[in-house]
Amino acid sequence: MHYVAVSLAMLLIGTAGLLTRRNIVIILMSIELILNAVNINLVAFSKHHGNAAGQVFAIFVIAVAVAEAAVGLGILLALFRNRETVQVDEVDLLKW
Amino acid sequence: MNFLDTLWLIPMFPLLGAALMMLLGRHQFLDPQMKNSSVGHHHHHDRGHDQDLRPRQGPRWLIGPLCSGFVLLSFLWSLGAVFAGRSEQVLFTWVAGLPFPAFDGRMVTLTADWGYLLDPLSAVMILMVTGIGFLIHVYSIAYMAHDGGLYRYFGCLNLFVFFMLVLVMANNYLLLFVGWEGVGLASYLLIGFYFKRKPASDAAIKAFLMNRLGDAGYLMALFFLLSIFGTVRFTEMQAAPHPLLPWATLLLLAAAIGKSAQIPLFTWLPDAMEGPTPVSALMHAATMVTAGVYLIVRAEPFFRLTPEVGSLTAAIGAASAVIAASIALVQHDIKKVLAYSTVSQLGLMFMALGVGAYWAALFHVVTHSFFKAQLFLGAGSVIHALDGEQDLRLMGGLRHQMPQTFRTMFIGTLALAGWPGLAGYFSKDSILTSAWVASPVLFGAGLFTALLTAFYMGRLLFLTFFGPYRGDQNIHESPKRMTVPLWVLSIGSIGAGWFGTPFAGWLGATPEPHSWAIMVASAVVAVAGLGIAYHFYLRRPGTADRWEEGVAPVARLLRARWYFDDLYELIFVRGLARQGGDWLSAWDRRVVDGGVNGAGWLARKAGDISKWSDTWIVDGAVNLTAISVKLSSFPVRYLQTGLAQGYAFLIVLSLAAMAGWYLLRSA
């Protein structure tokens, strides 16, 4: 029960960060929070049901998260070199 | 070694020489540009000068002996083959079954081999071509020593020998045509040898074009023969009466007239004297021009079946003989005299062909080739000595300075004039005998020609070698390499007549028995002609001029060469060429230019249409798509704000809504 509560808290904190912070670095960190909230849930329910599949799944998620962080930071670097900003609301050319 | 199996080698040797000279000559036998090389024949005075001009000298001296050697090989091979017997050798199938619509609607198949036929007729011809060809090659070595482009000269000469051998050795009419055209080409190249001189290049073109008229006749005759017989091979053609046969023989006659320079196509031959003198001797006197006679002898079965064409042949021959001989009377150029004499003698041969005395014609071909080659080479020797002077009026008394040339020329003159016992006497006598049997008119023409011949040859001899010298050159006898061939030819001029009978036997004809009356008449005429010439030009030197004044209209006619050239000039050059030029220019301006401009206009119009369709239809379609998308997406697209967090907010909101709905429903 506590596991789920911690997981829910992390999810909500991550979502709030994702929606409210303007700095892309912070947003990426928020996304990591969300992913890890899911991981905790997976591991918790894996333990609860006595099924190892959930833990294996968590490891996959960690791997994907690493890749995602690397790509995200790469894009961020490229963006900064071109626009000299990391504020997400200043990057809004792709519209209508 | 079996000569008959290696028949193909005979034309191969000169071809090899020609290929060597023409492909490698320019580089391997380097022949540096020589001063005045194309202007005249002789440059004794600047010989030392030349050596300074040569940057590096290839083995130039090798060219002549090499090419002469090839022809000598060819001659020896022919000799071997001729004595080995008769043969027909097919090298390969050249034209394999070409379907061809005949004149009567049948389909015939044109099959032709590249094959050589050695029969008595071709044997005589190849011996003559290679034998006399070899002597003239040897003569040329010395004669052309100071001219540029030696490799070109000898290459063309060898090429000529090759094509002439193909012509006389071919075993079918198609291959014969290859040689026929080939000698025309070689002739063109050699007449125009001094191509930087306008008259030479003009003469070359004239010779080529006039031959072309005859060649067109040959080509049509070939189609007729193919239609009639279904084959072009000599040995497969069985002569039989056929409604189309007269046309075929008539066209063959046209071809022979072109090549052998008979009326009305004879005017190219005198002009061809622009070529080097040995070329005149070889091609325009001794061998190539006899191709026409050879053709008619070869086509003898057809001519026998069409006596009307034979009569025409005889008439043309007789007219050519008399007219050309009469023109020769007043020529001042030593080579032109001999050229008209050639036309005249060929006319006699045609006369013999026309009356059916094929063996007599061939006999005269052979004897004539000896003494005419000899006379031309002798004339060349004189021209060589006089540094290019060809005018009889500026010669005279040369017998002291040039004894060798004089003696050989003397023999040649007597042989041509028909001095009893020499070659020309016997062959001319054969022709006269045959003509007498056929028609007294032809006999009269022949006898008259003989008289004129004796006269103009006497005139040539007396004006050149007797009397006082009228020029101002430093005269010297020609080198041995030039006089030795002259002496060898003299042997033929003296002796060839005594071998008269074999031709008759070989060709399967029986000659008319020699008539003593005709023999005596012929001898009397020959001696009389020479005697009159002696009286006119030596004993009473002014006589000729007085006579010319006495018969001024005739003299004018002869000097104008019976107005043949003027007539052709008027009709063809001025009339057709100029009028045709106008027509052509109108055609160019109206039709050709019109077509080009029309095409341009069309392209521009098409471009306009294409541009309009691009702007309005293609671009229009693209723009229409864009506009319709823009319109139809009107309110929704404003959701696309470009702010990533807006999208994230929507996603979260949607997820929350879905989760809420799920929870409410399950509760």
pLDDT tens per residue across span B103-138 = 777 888 888 888 898 888 888 888 889 999 999 999
Cα gap A58→B19, rounded to integer Å: 90
Q: Is the pLDDT of residue B389 over 90?
A: no
Name the pLDDT band for B51 (thresholds 50, 70, 90). Answer: very low
With left for phi above 0 and alpha for psi between -120 and 50, is residue B616 left, alpha or beta?
A: alpha
Question: Which amino acid is located at B538 in the chain?
Answer: L
pLDDT the model gives residue B44: 42
Count other C-beta atoms under 10 Å from residue A88's C-beta.
18
Note the pLDDT tens digit of each residue in B444-498. 999 999 999 999 999 999 888 888 888 777 778 888 888 888 898 888 888 777 7
- Which of B60-64, B424-428, B662-666 is most confident? B662-666
Q: Is the pLDDT of residue B372 over 60?
A: yes
Q: Which two tokens stand for residue B542?
A: 């002014």
Note the pLDDT tens digit of each residue in B181-226. 999 999 999 998 988 888 898 899 988 988 888 899 999 998 888 8
Q: Is the pLDDT of residue B505 over 70?
A: no
User: What element of type H or E holds B455?
Assistant: helix B440-465
Question: Which amino acid is located at B330 in the chain?
Answer: V
A92–B649 CB contact, under 8 Å: no
pLDDT the model gives residue B563: 81
User: What is the CATH number assigned to the segment(s) A2-90?
Assistant: 1.10.287.3510
Q: Is the pLDDT of residue A85 over 50?
A: yes
B641–A19 CB contact, under 8 Å: no
Q: Which of B560, B522, B71 is nearest to B270 (CA)?
A: B560
Cα gap B603→B71, rounded to integer Å: 61
In sequence order, what are the beta bridge partners of B88?
B117
Cα gap B125→B287, rounded to integer Å: 8
- In the predicted model, what is the mean pLDDT of residues B12-29? 81
Chain B contacts to A (CB-CB under 8 A): 637-638, 640-645, 648-649, 652
SS3 B339: helix
Cα gap B325→B328, rounded to integer Å: 5
Q: Which two tokens stand for residue B226?
A: 């193919």
Name the pLDDT band for A15 (thresholds 50, 70, 90). Answer: very high
- Which of B47-51, B141-145, B315-319 is most confident? B315-319
Its pTM stands at: 0.72
Closest-CA distance, A7 to chain B, in angstroms, reads 17
Q: What is the DSSP letter of B100?
A: E
Report yes or no: B395 and B386 within 8 Å, Cβ to Cβ.
yes
Packing angle of the helix pair A53-83, A24-49 (nearest 10 deg): 180
Q: Is the pLDDT of residue B45 over 60?
A: no
Cα gap A23→B86, rounded to integer Å: 112
Name the pLDDT band for B39 (thresholds 50, 70, 90). Answer: very low
Please state, rounded to an integer, the average pLDDT across all residues of chain B.
84
pLDDT the model gives residue B36: 40
- Which residues have C-beta within 8 Å of that of residue B535, sequence separation ≥ 6? B543
Cα gap B412→B415, rounded to integer Å: 5
SS3 B562: helix
- In the predicted model, what is the mean pLDDT of residues A4-18? 93
Cα gap B23→B151, rounded to integer Å: 10
Note the pLDDT tens digit of each residue in B595-630. 999 999 999 999 999 999 999 999 999 999 999 998
Closest-CA distance, A60 to chain B, in angstroms, reads 23
The interface predicted TM-score (ipTM) is 0.88
Q: What is the DSSP letter of A95?
A: -
Q: List CB contacts (< 8 A) between B637 and chain A.
A: 96
pLDDT the model gives residue B218: 92
Which residue among B637, B643, B644 places its CB closest to the CB of A96? B637
Provide φ and ψ at B111, rounded to 5°.
-120, 130
Q: List CB contacts (< 8 A) between A19 and chain B.
A: 645, 648-649, 652
List C-alpha distances in Å: B573 to B241, B494, B568, B576, B580. Answer: 40, 44, 7, 6, 10
SS3 B233: strand
Question: Which amino acid is located at B505 in the chain?
Answer: G
Q: Which of B98, B145, B88 is nearest to B121 (CA)?
A: B88
User: What element of type H or E holds B18?
Assistant: helix B9-19
Q: Is the pLDDT of residue B261 over 80?
A: yes
pLDDT the model gives residue B35: 39
Note the pLDDT tens digit of each residue in B272-309. 888 899 998 888 888 888 899 999 999 888 888 888 88
Note the pLDDT tens digit of each residue in B516-549. 788 888 888 888 988 888 888 888 777 777 777 7
pLDDT the model gives residue B53: 46
Write the secondary structure of B343-385 as one string of H (helix), E (strand) and C (coil): HHHHHHHHHHHHCCCHHHHHHHHHHHHHHHHHHHHHHHHHHHH
- In the predicted model, what is the mean pLDDT of residues B355-370? 88
Report yes or no: B523 and B418 within 8 Å, Cβ to Cβ.
yes
- Which residues have C-beta within 8 Å of that of residue B358, sequence separation ≥ 6? B296, B297, B300, B352, B507, B509
Name the pLDDT band for B42 (thresholds 50, 70, 90). Answer: very low
Which residue among B645, B649, B652 places its CB closest to the CB of A88? B645
Question: Percentage of residues in chain B with pLDDT exceeding 70?
Answer: 93
Provide φ and ψ at B391, rounded to 5°.
-85, 125
Number of inter-chain CB pairs under 8 A, A vs B: 30
Report yes or no: A57 and A42 within 8 Å, Cβ to Cβ.
yes
SS3 B92: strand
Name the pLDDT band for B148 (thresholds 50, 70, 90). Answer: confident
pLDDT the model gives residue A23: 92
pLDDT the model gives residue B663: 93
User: What element of type H or E holds B168?
Assistant: helix B150-169
Note the pLDDT tens digit of each residue in B328-340. 888 889 999 999 9
- Domain ranges across chain A: 2-90
Q: List CB contacts (< 8 A) between B655 and chain A.
A: none
